[in-house]
Amino acid sequence: VLQTFEFSRITQKNQYAGTPMSVSLTARDPNGLVVSGFSGWVRIKEITSFGDGRCGPDSVLLSGGSWNGSISMYRADETSINRGNVNLYAWLPAAPAKNGTSDPFTVHPATFARLQIVVPGQTPLPGSLSGLSGTPATQGAGRTFPVTVYGTDSYWNPVPSGDNVRVISSDPAANTPLTGALSNGSIQFSVRLGTVGTQTLTASDLTSSTIASMTSLGIQVIPDAFHHFAVSTVPSPMVAGAPTPVTISAADANGNAVTGFSGAARLSANTGPGSFSPEDITLTNGVWIGPVTFFGAGGAVSFTVSDYAAPPHTGASNTVTVQPGPLAGLQVLLPGESPLGGTSAGKTGTPVTQSAGSAFTLTVRAVDAYWNLVPTAGPLVSLGSSDAFAAIPAETTLASGQRLIQAKLFRSGPQRIWVSDLDDAAIVPDTSSVVQVVGGPFARVLVLAPGESPAPGLPNGRTGNATDQSINYSFNVTVLSTDSWWNPVGGVTDVVHITSDDPLAQLPADTPLVDGRVELPVRLARGGYNQITVGDVTRPAIQGSSTQVRAISSGFHLEASASPASVRAGDAFTLNVRVTNDAGSTIQEINSFVTLEVRNASTNRAGRGTLLTMQFQLLQGQRIVSETYTFAEPIVVIARDDAGNAPATSNPVVVTPGPPAAIALTSLPLWVGGNKHAEVRARLVDAYDNGVPDQPMSFAILSGNGTLGSFPDDPQRRTTVDTTFTDSSGVAHCDFLSPRQPEHDLLRADSGPITAQLDVETAFVDPNAQGGTVTNYPNPFHPPDQPTTIAYKLDDNAAVTIRIFTQSGDLVMSKTFDRGTAGGQAGLNQFVWDGRNGAHQPVASGGYLALIEAQGTGETLHVMRRKIAAVR
């Protein structure tokens, strides 16, 4: 019986990988005798201290219990030179317990024959067919990883060598070639691959061309971590405002797409904020594709991309030439400002403050729709200024798209300059930024009569016409301290002197200025034109001025004006009442007592509202009061005084409803019978009970079984009526349909934050009816299938007897109720008659009379009668 396998004695302990060794193998029984009857295949393998090794052949065929031949071992093991750590092992595949092991021996590597390259994910496996176990690990683009090159024999057993070797890659973006010398048969390189996809590495011997090279299995390269944004090429040139398609991608350090990035990014052009669109994008799966638009023109325009990381990932486009679009508008630039085409403002900087009367240079430019200079344009333009007395040309022609213009402003304070195209109204005009103009030092005193106002820059410093003044009635002149250009100068306290060529004029005493201003009373006595002159007493060298006022003799009347022309009820408006002469000058010496009256401006009827102030006294010939009015209607205010002056009627003031304050919610009728309609009215009012029109209103049933619909008749019934709007009187309507049985329904109306609720009662008997009222329902009724309910009201508890008679007076039935019990209680009581007589037989069809007697304490409280029809 087969027990084991026995190898022949191995006397040569030193063997070499790949070199055959003669050996015999016999099958033995438990007594160690050859089992001559055994014939069959036996498996062979090499056992080393590193693990199993490959040998050839790996199976032998025993015949008559024995086999003789040669076996080659391929895995070297020199860990025990003297004894040897390699054995041959034989076993029967069908019965692995029947096996045998040879004597130990040593297997040395063969001669240096090839290079082996090992990448992460793999380990050397000497003696195997491939020489390796495992598969190459995936690598990130741009990331370094270790690669080891070994010198081996033909069977991948490492051998000592010092040859120079080189590693190259199929990836053009790799950091190869790498070279170095083997040290004791190996060398490690740091390799970096840069191109996404499958790449390989090849190791070759530079010292000896007979040494075989090796190429690795494919190494999968994936994108590395997000490093920057990549922008597709932007075409050039282009026109400002014309969109062009662009692809923006998230990329690793080697430019490989990073599809794992999804997030927001911001775009900005080097032409300034707002000169590029879009400014915000969102990448999905590492990419954004869409149109971009440059608004700023230039020869080297580009945009950058950045996300919101810290620090941000960035990227930039190529530079392009952006040409301006067609002429679309004009632009005014002041000293201190610079053009910034493509931005919303079109310029940057702050205007430099200018001195009154000093020349400065402004720039007028022809621009496209995005404030870019259009050098081919030369329009004829006109100029103007908020300083009506500015020294600027009325018109000029631009050359090469622009013109530098000398300008002077005389009026102190904030001023502007504007420009427009004289030939093409479609060209958009422009108004400059505000430039602050500062006046000079105190140099003149200016006198102004009523009707005149300062006009810096004009020769006489004033504009307007002096109003005619009444003889022997005083009026005020205004004296101002000014600079050489008639700009008011504050802080001056010089004493001024008023003179006139009217020898009988009453003139004020010499008076000091207060912060450069004073108003002085003058009374003229001579008709016609009179000269009024001012001079500086404190500093006579200060230049004075004169004005001319005509004195007239005429009657007086009241004038009234109101502003604004439209106001909400309860909001303030201004009423100005004054006494004037026929020339319109205020007579300051008349301080009469004024009474006001309000009338409807359309019907001339008395106003229906309340005016806040109805009486007051004039001060220096006039009074300005703040008024309110409560009723929404167009009004005029009539002013009368106690001095007998002709009354005044103001301009119309349209008083509109104030803001909504409440909802008045009612129903018509106030109660309803079963399955009946009622009109629900919601009147939205202000604080003065004026209806507020054109406001949203909605209705809802909060409790109850009724339904709502649009007014007057809506077949679609529901519990809410969505937004409708109040009419001209502030009323919104909806239709309420009651349930068939008595109940209370709670309704609500809403208009914005304002709400109101209403209880609508459904009843068969008028809930407001007096005692002694009786009804029945239904009427007629259909006994015995359908009864009728007799409902009646009592003023107090009473003993009640109900008797029903035929039309001929025969008693049909009788029913009594004790005082205070159901049927005899104060208020509503009900009795259901089933249409049967006293014998419980259904009555015949016809008319019947119900007689109800209610006996109070010592008196008859009510006697009620009701005709009832029965139909069988």
Please write the tens of the pLDDT for every residue from 533-543.
999 999 999 99
- Does residue 224 have a pLDDT over 90? no
Q: What is the pLDDT of residue 528?
A: 80
Contacts of 828 (CB under 8 A, 6+ apart): 765, 767, 791, 792, 793
Q: What is the pLDDT of residue 605?
A: 92
Give which of 634, 639, 683, 632 is closest to 662, Cα–Cα: 683
What span, in angstroms and rounded, lies between the C-alpha atoms of 671 and 667? 8
Q: What is the pLDDT of residues 741-760, one digit of tens each?
A: 889 999 999 999 999 999 99
- Does residue 482 have a pLDDT over 80? yes
pLDDT tier, 552 (very low <50, low <70, confident <90, very high otherwise): confident
Take residue 37 and report the two structure tokens written for it: 């009857």
String of b and e for 805-843 (b: at least 16 CB within 10 Å)? beeeeeebbeeebebeeebbbeebbebebebeeeeeeeb
Phi, psi of 264 (to 5 degrees): -85, 150
- Does residue 234 have a pLDDT over 80? yes
Task: Please name the residue that has the structure tokens 């018509």.
Answer: 668
* Mean pLDDT taken over the chain: 94
Q: What is the pLDDT of residues 209-218, one digit of tens each?
A: 999 999 999 9
pLDDT tier, 681 (very low <50, low <70, confident <90, very high otherwise): very high
What span, in angstroms and rounded, lies between the C-alpha atoms of 194 and 222? 9
pLDDT tier, 872 (very low <50, low <70, confident <90, very high otherwise): confident
- Does residue 20 have a pLDDT over 90? yes
| Residue 241 backbone class (left: φ over 0; alpha: ψ -120 to 50; beta: rest) | left
Domains of the chain, CATH where assigned: 4-108 (2.60.40.1930), 114-222 (2.60.40.10), 228-323 (2.60.40.720), 330-438 (2.60.40.10), 444-552 (2.60.40.10), 556-656 (2.60.40.10), 662-762 (2.60.40.10), 774-870 (2.60.40.4070)
Take residue 383 and report the two structure tokens written for it: 């100029």
Q: What is the pLDDT of residues 150-193, one digit of tens each?
A: 999 999 999 999 999 999 999 999 999 999 999 999 999 999 99
Residue 430: how many other CB atoms lie within 10 Å: 20
- Does residue 721 have a pLDDT over 90? no
Residue 170: how many other CB atoms lie within 10 Å: 18
What span, in angstroms and rounded, lies between the C-alpha atoms of 580 and 469? 9
Q: What is the pLDDT of residues 403-455, one digit of tens each?
A: 999 999 998 999 999 999 999 999 999 999 999 999 999 999 999 999 999 99
pLDDT tier, 284 (very low <50, low <70, confident <90, very high otherwise): very high
Contact 777, 738 (CB under 8 A): no
- Does residue 625 have a pLDDT over 90? yes
Mean pLDDT, residues 299-305: 96
**Count of helices and strands (H, E) across the chain:** 0, 81
Contact 146, 188 (CB under 8 A): yes
Q: Where are the beta strands (DSSP E) in 40-152?
A: 40-48, 51-53, 55-56, 59-62, 66-73, 87-92, 95-101, 106-108, 114-118, 122-124, 132-134, 139-140, 144-152
SS3 849: strand
Q: What is the pLDDT of residue 852?
A: 96
- Count the residues in the chain: 872
Mean pLDDT, residues 335-345: 94
Q: What is the pLDDT of residue 673?
A: 87
Q: What is the pLDDT of residues 807-837, one digit of tens each?
A: 999 999 999 999 999 999 999 999 999 999 9
Angle at alpha carbon of residue 476, lines to 475 and 481, rounded to 5°: 160
Give 514-525 as a DSSP string.
Answer: BTTEEEEEEB--
Q: Are strands 566-568 and 615-617 parallel, antiparallel or unpaired?
A: unpaired
What span, in angstroms and rounded, lies between the C-alpha atoms of 794 and 809? 25
What span, in angstroms and rounded, lies between the C-alpha atoms of 561 and 559? 7
Q: What is the pLDDT of residue 114?
A: 98
What span, in angstroms and rounded, lies between the C-alpha atoms of 175 and 117? 16
- Does residue 646 have a pLDDT over 90? no
Question: Hey, what amino acid is at 638?
Answer: I
What span, in angstroms and rounded, lies between the C-alpha atoms of 100 and 26? 10
Contact 542, 512 (CB under 8 A): no
pLDDT tier, 293 (very low <50, low <70, confident <90, very high otherwise): very high
Q: What is the pLDDT of residue 256?
A: 86
Q: What is the pLDDT of residue 429?
A: 98
Q: Is the bond leading into 393 cis (omega within 30 degrees of zero)?
A: no
HSE of 156, CA atoms in CB hemisphere, 13 A: 18
**Which residue would you say has higher pLDDT here, 232 or 604?**
232
What span, in angstroms and rounded, lies between the C-alpha atoms of 241 and 292? 9
Phi, psi of 507 (to 5 degrees): -115, 155
What span, in angstroms and rounded, lies between the C-alpha atoms of 247 and 227? 17
Q: How far is CA 843 from CA 805, 810, 830, 849, in A?
A: 11, 12, 20, 13
Contact 568, 692 (CB under 8 A): no
- Does residue 718 have a pLDDT over 90? no
Q: Exposed, middle or buried, 100 (CB in 10 Å: 0-12/13-18/19+)?
A: buried
Helices (H), 522-589: none
- Does residue 142 have a pLDDT over 90? no
- Does residue 862 have a pLDDT over 80? yes
User: What DSSP element (H or E) covers 679?
Assistant: strand 677-685
Helices (H), 548-597: none
Q: What is the pLDDT of residue 244?
A: 97
Phi, psi of 145 (to 5 degrees): -150, 155
Contacts of 426 (CB under 8 A, 6+ apart): none
Q: How far is CA 231 from CA 76, 255, 512, in A?
A: 57, 10, 74
What span, in angstroms and rounded, lies between the C-alpha atoms of 164 and 117? 14
Take residue 524 and report the two structure tokens written for it: 């003229």
Mean pLDDT, residues 850-860: 92
Q: What is the pLDDT of residue 854?
A: 96
SS3 261: coil
- Does residue 553 have a pLDDT over 80? no
- Does residue 583 have a pLDDT over 90? no
Angle at alpha carbon of residue 670, lines to 666 and 674, rounded to 5°: 125
Q: What is the pLDDT of residue 722?
A: 83
Q: How far is CA 588 from CA 474, 615, 621, 841, in A?
A: 6, 19, 4, 103
Mean pLDDT, residues 633-641: 94
Percent of the chain scoring above 70 in pLDDT? 100
Contact 201, 219 (CB under 8 A): yes
- Does residue 712 have a pLDDT over 80? no
Q: What is the pLDDT of residue 688?
A: 96
- Does residue 555 have a pLDDT over 80? no
Which residue(s) pair with 165 in the sheet?
A: 180, 205
Sheet strand arrangement including 754-762: 671-672, 754-762, 743-751, 696-703, 720-725
What span, in angstroms and rounded, lies between the C-alpha atoms of 416 and 435? 6
Mean pLDDT, residues 459-463: 90
